[in-house]
Amino acid sequence: MSNWPQLLANDFGFFHPGTSSVSASGLVEAPCGWDRWVDLARDQPIRPVLDLYNLARHMGFQVFFITARNAEQRKATIANLRSAGYKGWDDQDLITEPDASHYPYAAPFKAEGRRKLTDAGYTIVLNIGDQDSDLRGGFADRVFKLPNPFYYIP
């Protein structure tokens, strides 16, 4: 998913809390805090990733989403994924970081999510993400990093 409008509105800065609104023309107005951006549920799909998702679903693969977004942001994230074209998955296929999590960084949480899936009998054949934290920690046959020159999440 792409948060390009939020990045552009903030002149590529990062604000965790903060308000935001959308103009009548549909532009995100600055400053746009990350939490508010998630609530707006306006991420657009990265088209080749959505195409790969649709191919995987067509081939019969179960697809899971593991995100460092917290449980409080779950409802907006589900709505955003569906409105962006990700169809054919159940709410439990989205793994969010628990509120008041004990994980200091995203990587351990995401590795733990993959471990739980493998413990449940799944084989993770492919793991895709734009951050090293999406890919570290094992529990996947193959990993592919998408380019992201704008920010880094440990």
Torsion of CA 88, 101, 148, 137, to 10 degrees: -90
State residue 76's pLDDT score: 98
- pLDDT for 136: 96
Q: What is the pLDDT confidence band of residue 91, given thresholds at 50, 70 and 90? A: very high
User: How confident is residue 32, by pLDDT bands cut at 50, 70 and 90?
Assistant: confident
Q: Is residue 123 within 8 Å of 141, Cβ to Cβ? A: yes
Contact 106, 130 (CB under 8 A): no
**pLDDT tens figures, 38-90:** 999 999 999 999 999 999 999 999 999 999 999 999 999 999 999 999 999 99
Residue 152, pLDDT score: 87
Helix, strand, or coil (residue 37): helix
Who's near 83: CB < 8 A, 6+ residues apart?
A: 41
Burial category of 127 from C-beta neighbours within 10 Å (exposed 0-12, middle 13-18, buried 19 and up): buried
pLDDT score of 102 more than 80: no
**pLDDT of amino acid 100:** 67
pTM of the model: 0.90
Condensed to tens digits (0 to 9), the pLDDT of residues 1-24 reads 998 988 888 888 888 777 877 877
Q: What band does 135 get if pLDDT is binned at 50, 70 and 90? A: very high
Q: In this prediction, what percent of the chain has a pLDDT beyond 70?
A: 99
Residues of the chain with CATH 3.40.50.1000: 47-145
Contact present, 130 and 147 (Cβ < 8 Å) = yes
Residue with tokens 């895709």: 128
Residue 31's pLDDT band, with cuts at 50, 70 and 90, is confident
The CA distance from 60 to 93, in Å, is 15
CATH code at 47-145: 3.40.50.1000
Strand pairing category for 127-129 and 143-145: parallel
pLDDT value at position 20? 79
DSSP for residue 6 = H
Rounded to whole angstroms, the Cα distance separating 142 from 35 reads 31
